[in-house]
Structure 1
Amino acid sequence: MNHSPENVSRLGRMGRAEFIAMIAMLMALNALAIDIMLPGLQQIGATLGVENENHRQYIVSAYLIGFGLAQLVYGPLADRFGRRIPLLAGLSIYIIAAIFGAFIPSFTALLVLRFIQGLGAASMRVVTVSIVRDIYGGRQMAEAMSLIMMVFMIVPVIAPGIGQTILLFADWHTIFVFMAVAGLGIAAWTHLRLPETLSPSDVRPFTIRSIATGFKIVLTDRIALNYTLASTFIFGALFGFINSAQQIYTQVYDLGKLMPIAFGSVALFMSFSSFVNARMVGRVGMRRLSHGALVAFLAINFVWLMIEILGPRPMPFPLFICLFAISMFMFGWIGANFNSLAMEPLGHVAGTASSVLGFLSTVGGASIGALIGQAFDGTALPLIAGFFVVSLIGFVFVMIAEKGKLFQPHNQRH
């Protein structure tokens, strides 16, 4: 596998800016399916007779479980049949599920449909990361992923507001119509403009033995596995917040319809973090940036937890949102770099690697996030405690990956 930037020739007529924007929008369809639902959880629960408020979080969890499980399939398919076919197939499932969502009759049926929608969306996680890895390696991949994340994070900024606006003029079923239309538009763009990026020399047979060999390569690589496990726990914090955001903002802090603004402001901070990372990673390196961010993430979450335990409850909202935003700024430096560090040694099995790593981080992260979300007790303490615990566990896995030596670039590309 050639890791040099010359691989951009595989993009044909597509320029770098369009490529970054397209990959970001493909990944953003996943964020849209999660964040646009948040303002509607209360209305959905009331309409479908869900009395336990914590059970409404299953609308997010069901989607994430389907999203995580299906990633095990898309990777081997993408390594055998190329990137375009599995990606477009997943987009089709996503769109069809969104269309049916506009007519859903019960909460159980909604959860099943959200699971199916997650199955389709998984292609947009696995295949897009594989495509980026086809084109870039090392710091170039980290820089590209940071720019992608910067554009991608626009969606969490605006999605809750879109959901809230839709609810002003229609009921929650219309949110699914919006997702279907957005999916159709991006699917058409992808079909018309995205070329096949898998090199013929990297095509792998779609056999049980080949898939098992690919999985073994991924799971026995110390750096890839431990960075993935670190990402899993740290993403668990993000999923925990997504699960309980509506309750924290509307019940603990009584923000009401201002919730999308609070949610979007933190996402905007994360987008700025990704932009800064993209500008710095080429000079500083993935390890120095992400390790420094991880240490800061751990320290900030510890301070945040101590203030929540020892200070008045609820913590004043300006202090809460400030500490949360700083924590998520560090998260922005961790996410793209850890993903690139995990994928770096696995370019020759990029599809399978993205599949396995995505499965572990999504299913694991969603499970951890569900535990944090279900622990909601009317205060922000379970969320903040969850942030600190997962950051501590993530730090341990990074120490294992690096044999106890942080901030040490392995070469000029890392």
Structure 2
Amino acid sequence: MRSHSAPAGMHPREFVTFIAALMGVNALGVDLMLPALADIGRDLFVTEANHRQWVVTVYMVGFGIGQLVYGPLADRFGRRPILITTLVGFVAASIFAASSATFEALLAARLLQGLMSASTRVLAVAIVRDGASGRQMARTMSVAQMIFFIVPILAPTLGQGLLALGPWRFIFYALGMFAAFVLAWTLVRLPETLPVARRVPISIASLKQSYRLTLSNRFSVGYAAAASLTFGGIIAFVSSAQQIFVDEFGAGQRFAVLFALCAGAMGMASFANSRLVERLGTRLISQSAVLALIFLSVVHVLVIEWGWETLISFMVFQALSMTCIGLCGANFGAMAMEPVGHIAGTASSIQGFITSIGAVLVGSAIGQSYAGTTLPLAIGYLAIGVAVLVLVYFIEGGQLFRPRMEPR
């Protein structure tokens, strides 16, 4: 098994762990406060339960918009200075969130957190792409995501632990402390991965060319759009999980454990993908996962309609659906980057914007449809699966399950 391509001075295992920690800044930014949403709503006088979901979705809006900025900056000035600056900004935004006196102020702080954490997604992809491509890139990202998915497994439990020690504001201080740790790791261990010779000056002409190359390539924009749909399924679950587990199934004390089991399924899927992708290829794995998601969603809708839905049935279907989504994410991302690796920073920004904003729209539409049952989530997953399958069919020129030549 080939080793992961790491920057000079970093062991491959340290590099993968660093990428996972970098991605973890964003994961904690989404998941750590989930157990506190009810406390936040009560403390800041949020009367409508579904409005608490905006603590997650506003963050993701900032996350999506910010990605448009950091790619060109990283291609011009290098990866390190942009990452250092935005991690400092994330720490400041976390302190702002912790001191918020109104729900509107908290949402503003969350928007700023999202804007700052957007660099972690862009630069994680760009730094990995600086040294790898194709199946090797997918394998590296899968291993990083496997470690990264431990974060949502542990995050609600950590959030509940912080709530046991003090008010919900402690959670935002903890976010700032973790970002400060990653900042210190960056300063001490991460070298610059983009040589001066490969840097691209920022100009209208160069940006137009990069946007044209990224948006005119059907694999680049198509797989970014496919990733946005599957990511939207994650946002829909995350934003409504507290209501489903606590309000619908009355599993308040077990929320962290139940959420962890569903998130853990994605971690196992990423682990499996990291072991299989170089042998089977990104297309075979992701397309099989999409078909499985459609089948699971159809059965889940029928179970709900027939009145058989229980906490156990929901857990089974949700975990299996998250497994399918986990098998799509890293592979869609790697395939989207294949034809635009020479402009990895800007391309990652554009693709990240498409993926994140599209996911917010999809996830919010499903999450805000919650009305006391899991049916909107099941129907949403079915719609996502069908839409992704149709999209992939057109991306691949009407050919499914036919492996193309992929960089190894």
* Residue 72 (1) aligns with residue 71 (2): no
CA contact (8 A) 2:79 2:127 kept: yes
Can you give the 5+ residue segments of structure 1 that lack an aligned partner in the other structure? none
CA contact (8 A) 1:164 1:257 kept: no
State the aligned residue count: 407
> Partners in 1 of 2:221 and 2:299 — Cα distance?
29
The structure-2 alpha-carbon separation of the partners of 1:200 and 1:251, relative to structure 1 and needing over 3 Å to count, comes to: same
Give CA-to-partner distance per residue, 1:302-333, whole Å, 9 cap, x none.
21112112334xx1111110111111111111
CA contact (8 A) 1:225 1:342 kept: yes
CA contact (8 A) 1:93 1:119 kept: no
Aligned residue in 2 for 1:223: 219
Of the candidates 313, 324, 335, which is equivalent to residue 329 of structure 2? 335
Q: What SS class does the counterpart of residue 70 from structure 1 fall into?
A: helix
> Partners in 1 of 2:255 and 2:318 — Cα distance?
15
Tell me the CA shift for residue 412 of structure 1: 5.3
* Residue 390 (1) aligns with residue 347 (2): no
Aligned residue in 2 for 1:310: 306
Aligned residue in 2 for 1:250: 246
Aligned residue in 2 for 1:351: 345
* Residue 325 (1) aligns with residue 319 (2): yes
* Residue 186 (1) aligns with residue 155 (2): no
> Partners in 2 of 1:285 and 1:266 — Cα distance?
25
Aligned residue in 2 for 1:413: 407
> Partners in 2 of 1:86 and 1:386 — Cα distance?
36
TM-score (norm 2): 0.97
Aligned residue in 2 for 1:41: 37
> Partners in 2 of 1:7 and 1:241 — Cα distance?
32
Of the candidates 119, 127, 130, which is equivalent to residue 126 of structure 2? 130
* Residue 156 (1) aligns with residue 152 (2): yes
Q: What SS class does the counterpart of residue 397 from structure 2 fall into?
A: coil
* Residue 237 (1) aligns with residue 233 (2): yes
Tell me the CA shift for residue 294 of structure 1: 1.2
CA contact (8 A) 2:293 2:381 kept: no
> Partners in 1 of 2:323 and 2:51 — Cα distance?
30
Q: What SS class does the counterpart of residue 89 from structure 1 fall into?
A: helix
Match runs of 1:292-307 below 5 Å: 292-307=288-303
Letter in 2 for 1:365: A
Identical-residue share of aligned pairs (%): 41
Give CA-to-partner distance per residue, 1:223-256, whole Å, 9 cap, x none.
1111111111111111111110100000111101
Aligned residue in 2 for 1:363: 357
Letter in 2 for 1:147: V
Letter in 1 for 2:350: V
Letter in 2 for 1:175: I
> Partners in 2 of 1:22 and 1:240 — Cα distance?
28
Letter in 1 for 2:294: L
> Partners in 1 of 2:382 and 2:151 — Cα distance?
26
Letter in 2 for 1:94: F
CA contact (8 A) 2:3 2:12 kept: no
Letter in 2 for 1:337: N
Letter in 2 for 1:49: F
Letter in 2 for 1:384: A
Q: What SS class does the counterpart of residue 246 from structure 2 fall into?
A: helix
Match runs of 1:80-91 below 5 Å: 80-91=76-87
Aligned residue in 2 for 1:277: 273
Tell me the CA shift for residue 202 of structure 1: 2.4
* Residue 26 (1) aligns with residue 29 (2): no
CA contact (8 A) 1:27 1:128 kept: yes
Tell me the CA shift for residue 401 of structure 1: 0.6
Match runs of 1:193-208 below 5 Å: 193-208=189-204
Letter in 2 for 1:356: I
Give CA-to-partner distance per residue, 1:197-224, whole Å, 9 cap, x none.
1133321111122112101110000111
CA contact (8 A) 1:134 1:350 kept: yes
Give CA-to-partner distance per residue, 1:80-106, whole Å, 9 cap, x none.
011111111111111111112221110
CA contact (8 A) 1:285 1:413 kept: no
Tell me the CA shift for residue 300 of structure 1: 1.1
* Residue 56 (1) aligns with residue 52 (2): yes
Q: What SS class does the counterpart of residue 14 from structure 1 fall into?
A: coil
Structure 1 moving runs of 4+ over 2 Å: 5-9, 199-202
Give CA-to-partner distance per residue, 1:106-154, whole Å, 9 cap, x none.
0000000000010000000001100011111111001101101000000
Tell me the CA shift for residue 185 of structure 1: 0.8
Give CA-to-partner distance per residue, 1:160-210, whole Å, 9 cap, x none.
111111111210011011111111111100111011111333211111221
Letter in 2 for 1:394: V
> Partners in 1 of 2:377 and 2:406 — Cα distance?
38
Letter in 2 for 1:407: F
Match runs of 1:8-19 below 5 Å: 8=5, 11-19=7-15
Tell me the CA shift for residue 413 of structure 1: 3.3
> Partners in 2 of 1:382 and 1:91 — Cα distance?
36
